[in-house]
Each structure stands twice: as C-alpha cells, then as structure tokens.
Chains A and B, each alone.
Chain A
Amino acid sequence: EVQLVESGGGLVKPGRSLRLSCTASGFTFGDYAMSWFRQAPGKGLEWVGFIRSKAYGGTTEYAASVKGRFTISRDDSKSIAYLQMNSLKTEDTAVYYCTRDNVVPPHNWFDPWGQGTLVTVSS
C-alpha cells in the first residue's frame, strides 16, 4: 500500500525553527517529486513547495510566502522528505501535508496525501 506519514509537528514560538518529516512506503520514493501543502485553520489548501526527483536534479520550488524561510530536502535512502521551517511566524500555523507528485506528461496530479501534522506557532 502506498502511504505517506508526516511527523514532527507541535507548538513552537515565533522566530524558532521546526523540521517536519514525511516517511513514504509502498513505492520507489526516489522516482517521484514530493510536495508539501498546508492548511490554516478554517482555510483552504496552500501549496508550500516541492522537491524534484534526483533524475530531474533534485531541485526545489517554493511559494512566495515561505521562500527564504522554508527548505525542502529528501533522503532517498530512507524514503523521507523533509520540510525545514525557520523564522516561523504565527501565520504559519496550519496542518502540513506531504503528497506525491504523479507525472504522466502532460498530466500531473498529487496522490496520495499524508494524514497531516499540526504546527502551531504561538508565544
């Protein structure tokens, strides 16, 4: 079964850092790009960023709202994607989801999604 499990969420003070993990199973992790999304309480989905597979350079892209503060990385040997969040702000409070990018050119969709991990930024 293809599965993604996020971990690492919690309560953190503004200005501090937190690292989230997304552990994958049931597929060849290194073959896929991985994305992070977030959802603030009562709000819609917001794309945070993604990391391409090594075959496509392992490069990253980020939403403007997190660029320069958040970093996505991957460890293909452990089938884990990471989201390093620095200089956290109260507006970063959200449930964070990881998801797998499925690409069959010209089509591209996100599936599956993890269960999410809650990050609360508050003093």
Chain B
Amino acid sequence: QSVLTQPPSASGTPGQRVTISCSGSSSNIGSNTVNWYQQLPGTAPKLLIYSNNQRPSGVPDRFSGSKSGTSASLAISGLQSEDEADYYCAAWDDSLPVFGGGTKLTVL
C-alpha cells in the first residue's frame, strides 16, 4: 500500500489533455514539495517535474504540475503517443521519501 494515492490507470487520445492526481496527507504533500517521475516502458525512471511545478531542462512544456493542500496533479496537454508511460508522484514525509503506486497512461 503506497503512502501517496494515484489512480492506477489513465488514458487519452492524441492531442487531448489528461491529468493524473496524487493524494497525500498533511505530513507529506501538505508540508513538502511534490515531484513527478516518468517511466517509459522498459526504461529507468526519469525526473519529469520537481518542486511542484518546475520542469527540468529538456522536458516539454506540455507537462505541468500543480499542488493544492494535500493533493497534487500532473497535467499533460497535446498528448502524444510517446507519452505512454507510468507516472509516479513523490514527496517527503518525516524526512523519508514516499511515492505513489504509479499511474499507467495509455494513449488510445
């Protein structure tokens, strides 16, 4: 059972906007920043969003993050086939990292 709660799956068609939610508590998301990681099939995780809404160099601006209270969201606009991947939210809780169980995004 993961500390952060994500929907197990999400889907969209090319060009569509999709959002993935991440729910936590006051001890993790409520008091720390949220990061998102993308894991393409058969590859290692990659940092997608850090500090709630910051994109590392090289990440397209189609990806955006937000946080409100004890929840966070990842939005992907202009969905592309190469966005099909697993997405994980993460935060810190009592100085230890906690993750969501991951959301498998399918591009229909």
Contacts and interface: CB of A to CB of B under 8 A. Distances in A.
Contacts, number: 62
Nearest to A50: B97
Given A47-B96, A106-B33, 10 more contacts: A44-B2, A44-B86, A44-B99, A47-B99, A104-B51, A107-B33, A109-B90, A110-B35, A110-B37, A116-B44
B32 A106 contact: yes
DSSP majority for the A interface?
strand
A47 B35 CA distance: 14
Interface string B87-108: 0101010011111111000000
A35 interface: yes
Contacts of A115: 43-44
Interface residues of B, number: 26
Interface string B43-70: 1111100110000100000000000000
A113 B97 contact: no
Interface residues of A, number: 23
A44 B98 CA distance: 12
A45 B92 contact: no
DSSP majority for the B interface?
strand
Interface string A20-59: 0000000000000001010000001111001000000000
Interface string A100-122: 00101011111111111000000
A17 B29 CA distance: 36
A45 to B, nearest CB: 5
B88 A114 contact: no
B44 A45 contact: no
Given A35-B97, A44-B2, A112 B102 contact: no
A113 B44 contact: yes
Contacts of A47: 96-99
Contacts of B102: 44-45
